[in-house]
Amino acid sequence: MPSAGVFGLLARDTGGMGKAEKFSPVRSDAVTPDSPEAVGAAGTRAGRRRSVVWRVLAVPVAAAIALGAVGGAASAAPSKGEAESLKSRAQGLVEAGYPAALAAVSDSKGESAGVAVGKGSLETGQAPPMDGEVRVGSNTKTFVAVVVMQMVQEGKVGLDEPIETYLPGLIKGEGIDASRITVRQLLQHTSGLPDFDETLFGTTDVFQYRYHYVTPRDVLDSALSKPAQFEPGTQWKYTNTNYIVLGMLVERVSQRPVGEQIDERIVKKLGLSHTYFPAPGEEKIRGTHPRGYHLNGEGKLEDITEMDPTWGWAAGAMVSTPSELNTFFQAVFDGRLLTQASIDEMKKGVDIGSGGRVYGLGLIGTPLSCGGTAWGHGGDIAGYHTRGGVGPDGTAVTVAVTALPTAIADQSNLENSAKEKAGKIAEAVDISLCHK
């Protein structure tokens, strides 16, 4: 289902990402510590539409456990204790029912230790690859946001300029006035634009449309067939349409594909060799990767690794690895990609009503149990769920599992079960960033 529940941040367990919240700007430094489950929590909307009752899948932890350095010399990587703690948490995720868990923790120097646990393929029992490529869903939004901020730095885009300036006549519909929607509001999900969902394919079953190619305009037109959700700037609601529009903005300003802009401005600059924006119609993951699984109509986990993610596009199509996501998010804050003024703008957050969490410009700030704030994003797409962030000391962690929490949850108690499954990932992120 092409919604926040498929490649974005899921609804209920983000504390309101699936409903409109009153617009309440907060200072980026005003976040206070909160519970660890707030870090990258996922929700339940994606699975709620299925009526099938399904028991949680149990995957033997003994299927595969790997631990090692992925970003540099082992002696320079995060401490053995931190790596072992991460491995223990990853084991717990497999015990909770995820087919496989891959994770990486990277220190402020960029040295990383990684872990791969579980089964990379349920069909063959093959171990998951260390630091394998995964679909990263809405982490794509941060890549797009960085490109937009670079264009702001270059004087090509104005944060508080109406989107109508750059895409004249394109964004229109019932209650929608593009002359009143700013670039900042699109980045921050306060535009009020409607989202696309089953109106795009006529079904919420991802297995029915997994190979369907759609254009960004198809996706946008689907969204604009519905009325505005609220007046621009008055509320907050996580809406993937915002980043479809931002992808179009990047292409209009640069006169080049958004994926190419991400590659030229970010991927090549950081030397990322396993991070990419799929080509139109590209269905397979290019590099070594674990298989991704999703709940089918019979209540069983089915391989959904191959798909055409064009419906996700600038809102959720990218592929990366845990260690390379760490490198990217660290680079967002250490000056390699943006000026300090741009970083400060990205951290100006809107309270999203979820345990002190704020949404900035393509970034989510989450209070850590040990104090301070983790900055990152997270992403879901059928088959893969990733969460992570960068802590106050520059440590970064990314945890990726090969099914959505809703896919492994007890379908007879879906909301609570999925929240519990997602909470284990949130806890793993928090513990790693707090060096527990």
Q: Token digits for 281?
A: 């119609």
What three-state secondary structure class fits 106? strand
CA 323 remoteness from chain centre: 15
pTM of this structure? 0.85
> What stretches of 193-352 show up as alpha helix (H) in DSSP?
198-201, 206-209, 216-224, 241-254, 258-262, 268-270, 313-316, 322-333, 340-346
User: What does each of the 436 residues of the chain score in pLDDT, given as a tens digit?
Assistant: 333 334 444 333 333 333 333 333 333 332 222 222 233 333 333 333 332 222 222 222 233 334 455 543 333 357 777 888 899 999 999 999 999 999 999 999 878 899 999 999 999 999 999 999 999 999 999 999 999 999 999 999 999 999 999 999 999 999 999 999 999 999 999 999 999 977 899 888 999 999 999 999 999 999 999 999 999 999 999 999 999 999 999 999 999 999 999 999 999 999 999 999 999 999 999 999 999 999 999 999 999 999 999 999 999 999 999 999 999 999 999 999 999 999 999 999 999 987 899 999 999 999 999 999 999 999 999 999 999 999 999 999 999 999 999 999 999 999 999 999 999 999 999 999 999 8
Q: Which amino acid is at 106?
A: S
Q: How far apart are CA 169 and CA 179, in angstroms?
A: 10
C-alpha–C-alpha distance, residues 122 and 291, integer Å: 8
Alpha carbon distance 200, 226 (integer Å): 12
User: CA 143, CA 66: separation in Å to the nearest integer?
Assistant: 29
CATH 3.40.50.10780 fits domain 4-433: no
